[in-house]
Structure 1
């Protein structure tokens, strides 16, 4: 044991990144094998430590996010800190019931018996988070992993360096480093991480990297949860209250990290009879929220870096797109600023309509009605989220029934993310697997099937040599003819 402890000490002080990563995985696997992470008391202690971190370090978290994305303290608290706090509190409240075996009744074939589904930790988990919500999208999957009894390596996004550094600094102060570690870095570090043999990989990001992660995981048959993105459509019909609808769309688009969110509205499909009015009300709403000069608003985040700024400008500056701008379009490269921008009647074959926007640009497309909107959406990759604005319950139900998406919200945007009783995840190109609340616990758990059998109760017809008489007995039992089976067993029926 002393030799292993010395090896661990050396591992965690080495500067060579490859050795460091490989050593951490060995170190955490040793912790898992010791059984340290399984008891409820250990899990609860880590969750309590994480909750203290969230409460005690709120100002530090706000400063880091302001530095990385110029997020306001309000936006940081609402969309990052408070969501992690509530997730942590829920896990602490429900932990014992989540861990408890679930009873399952036996069957005639196993009588007398009882069954149970016993959740057990998958083992050592890798959580790779992303830059747009760099705190909550790192912490919330960790909550599920800890609640499930896993050891965790967290890889924060290097694109949000202040938040990454803060997580690397704070987590060792509040959590058990023998089971929970942070690995910072870029491509070399993540490449080394993906070469390791994990028991679970949880990734939040884009589909291109998602494919790389799934390919790496396949070498070890490692289960993965991929939280990806895509183009999240909005449909508005003529029955919708446009002022309410467009306030909710605007806050979901620009008040939510300035469109840099996987669940932000990507484009609007507006029923053609109301499309011009949708444009007008949306423009009024933008001015109401962010003023006539949104650049001066403290409630509008900036683009994360120069690469993404240029990517968005390329979408906007396409010659087929430029003439479709009906509001906004202003930009300031030095300050990574792009104004809330509305485009109307955009051609469908331009990049802004074929690529995920992930920024403050919002195209509006005219459709004749619900049927055309459904066809438009279903002909494309399945979205992570779909938003429907209508007061017609039949239209709402039609959309829910016919559109395949990770989640659907009727008459609002983005709020599905904050309901812990709803699974959050994608389908197809938008991801695989889900989390939040108990779904987070489940995604890091193996649900082990256990059958408890009594020594009494054997039916001799189960055992060789098999005869037609025994087959009749088994058939009677399996079809529920218990009287017939009894008579056969007693020899009263041939």
Structure 2
């Protein structure tokens, strides 16, 4: 580890302070969480809304609903349960180890790094921080440079609430992340794309640092002919267009029972109009693409699909000067189109049809495991078949996005869509080591079996193998 690293001194401060933080009581940790809650819920709530609007015109209500509320709710849930989570968990000890007792201690991992993305900067920076604080860790936060107004505000909040030898926020671009990843953190929590996740994991491997990778991928939405199509389309439009589609668990593409296509297209147009008016560009309820780079990526992907014979069923309009892309529905997309190869992360929804549910399941399984998979159906047999014959980080039946908000459910992916889980006790466990402790109280069976080995001891071993 080079002392020339610009963050070496900060890392060393936190490393030196980690045991003091790690030995804090649940009441002391709750006090920190309450300070953060106060800042988000009251002191800086308006400023957060203004910063996100400045970064990509995110509606204030959407910021309250998708940025502030999830973190505040996570804090409340953690406060209610932290005392229980921190208790030593007694476990059974085998009869063969008579005279001993066993328990598990949830100890802090130590000095942690949280690298968060631009699409939900408040939620995906402070959400993991709640779990890290609950676990008793010191933390360096690195938010995305793509939402500069929000990152600057988060830096102010962190500086006001915490000492840097405990929690610090570092601003900067790719070079900053690279420098931080050179340091031997005890745990890294990264949210972002699978491509960057591989870079993070490779850097972590140099120090055998544990990782939580919250990634993404192409989350499919399967709709069968038993579903309430009107309700399904309404929910899908909401899930796809919230944050202008820049959501890791947004429906990426739809697999629709073939006969339902004409009605789906009609309802899609109808729901977009209901949500965002005839002209979504003028709607105060619709976000923008975060920057010109991502705008260009999305418009090029749409043009690529059109050039390969795809049909724009609805939407398709855009304005570069405002990074605006209309909610767009596209059908007839070939597999070699960019829209079907990469995670879309925008308000463009590919529509594919199938005849038999086995075909839809086969299509899902031919691709990487998604972060989320959605099913719209009233048929229990179909629902069970899809869940039993696919693999995904999470699934929501007859809705989308909502699984993220239940703290009793683990949130995270599998393989290409992520490693590890977050939220509630699952997030707490990501930032703690489940340390096993066995305490010997009296002489035990093992003490009777130490060398020199004799025939009598062999008989004891034979009995142990047979009966215990």
Return the TM-score normalized by structure 1. 0.91
CA pair 269-35 structure 1, distance change in 2 beyond 3 A: closer
> CA–CA distance in 2 between the matches of 1:446 and 1:148?
9
Q: 1:468 Cα deviation (Å)?
A: 4.3
Q: 1:439 Cα deviation (Å)?
A: 0.8
Asked which structure has the greater CA Rg, the reply is 1
Query: How many residues were matched structurally?
Result: 464
Q: Does 1:159 align with 2:149?
A: no
> CA–CA distance in 1 between the matches of 2:217 and 2:22?
40
Comparing 28-37 and 427-436, the one that deviates more: 28-37
The corresponding residue for 2:370 is 383
Which of 252, 259, 263 lines up with 1:273 in the alignment? Answer: 259
Q: 1:179 Cα deviation (Å)?
A: 0.3
Q: Does structure 1 retain, via aligned residues, the 8 Å contact 2:187–2:209?
A: yes
The corresponding residue for 2:322 is 335
* 1:422 alignment partner, SS class: coil
Q: 1:102 Cα deviation (Å)?
A: 0.6
Q: Does structure 2 retain, via aligned residues, the 8 Å contact 1:38–1:121?
A: no
Q: Does structure 2 retain, via aligned residues, the 8 Å contact 1:130–1:137?
A: yes
Comparing 105-114 and 320-329, the one that deviates more: 320-329
Which of 309, 320, 331 lines up with 2:295 in the alignment? Answer: 309
Q: Does structure 2 retain, via aligned residues, the 8 Å contact 1:102–1:117?
A: yes
CA pair 310-84 structure 1, distance change in 2 beyond 3 A: same
Q: Does structure 2 retain, via aligned residues, the 8 Å contact 1:108–1:477?
A: no
Residue-by-residue CA offset, 1:307-349 (whole Å, 9 max, x unaligned)? 0000001101114356410100000000000000001122122
> CA–CA distance in 1 between the matches of 2:19 and 2:335?
54
Q: 1:69 Cα deviation (Å)?
A: 1.7
* 1:192 alignment partner, SS class: helix
Comparing 272-281 and 398-407, the one that deviates more: 272-281
> CA–CA distance in 2 between the matches of 1:28 and 1:459?
42
Q: 1:458 Cα deviation (Å)?
A: 4.0
Query: Structure 2 regions of 5+ residues with no counterpart?
Result: none
Residue-by-residue CA offset, 1:450-472 (whole Å, 9 max, x unaligned)? 01112234466512222444233
Q: 1:432 Cα deviation (Å)?
A: 0.6
* 2:259 alignment partner, SS class: coil
Q: Does 1:177 align with 2:161?
A: no
Which of 338, 345, 358 lines up with 2:345 in the alignment? Answer: 358
Q: Does 1:79 align with 2:100?
A: no
Q: Does structure 2 retain, via aligned residues, the 8 Å contact 1:37–1:151?
A: no
Q: 1:37 Cα deviation (Å)?
A: 5.3
* 2:295 alignment partner, SS class: helix
> CA–CA distance in 1 between the matches of 2:308 and 2:50?
37
Q: Does structure 1 retain, via aligned residues, the 8 Å contact 2:309–2:332?
A: no
The corresponding residue for 2:127 is 140
Q: Does 1:448 align with 2:435?
A: yes
> CA–CA distance in 2 between the matches of 1:119 and 1:460?
29
**Structure 1 consecutive aligned stretches of length 4 or more whose deviation exceeds 6 Å:** none
Which of 284, 288, 299 lines up with 1:298 in the alignment? Answer: 284
Which of 250, 255, 258 lines up with 1:264 in the alignment? Answer: 250
The correspondence of residues 222-233 of structure 1 with structure 2, limited to 5 A, is 222-233=209-220
Q: 1:60 Cα deviation (Å)?
A: 0.7
> CA–CA distance in 2 between the matches of 1:57 and 1:321?
48
The corresponding residue for 1:105 is 92
Query: Structure 1 regions of 5+ residues with no counterpart?
Result: 1-16, 482-494
> CA–CA distance in 2 between the matches of 1:333 and 1:457?
75
Q: Does structure 2 retain, via aligned residues, the 8 Å contact 1:18–1:189?
A: no
* 1:43 alignment partner, SS class: helix
> CA–CA distance in 1 between the matches of 2:368 and 2:172?
32
Q: 1:258 Cα deviation (Å)?
A: 1.0
Q: Does structure 1 retain, via aligned residues, the 8 Å contact 2:420–2:430?
A: yes
> CA–CA distance in 1 between the matches of 2:445 and 2:234?
68
The corresponding residue for 1:196 is 183
Q: 1:405 Cα deviation (Å)?
A: 0.4
Comparing 169-178 and 101-110, the one that deviates more: 169-178
The correspondence of residues 378-417 of structure 1 with structure 2, limited to 5 A, is 378-417=365-404
The corresponding residue for 1:89 is 76
* 2:244 alignment partner, SS class: coil
Return the TM-score normalized by structure 2. 0.96
The corresponding residue for 2:273 is 287
The corresponding residue for 1:486 is none
Residue-by-residue CA offset, 1:54-100 (whole Å, 9 max, x unaligned)? 12211011011111121111100000101100001111111111111
> CA–CA distance in 2 between the matches of 1:94 and 1:34?
22
* 1:365 alignment partner, SS class: strand
Q: Does 1:428 align with 2:415?
A: yes
> CA–CA distance in 2 between the matches of 1:316 and 1:398?
33
> CA–CA distance in 1 between the matches of 2:456 and 2:421?
50
Residue-by-residue CA offset, 1:22-64 (whole Å, 9 max, x unaligned)? 1100011111144565332331221111111112211011011
Q: Does structure 2 retain, via aligned residues, the 8 Å contact 1:279–1:344?
A: no
The correspondence of residues 15-34 of structure 1 with structure 2, limited to 5 A, is 20-34=6-20
> CA–CA distance in 1 between the matches of 2:168 and 2:89?
31
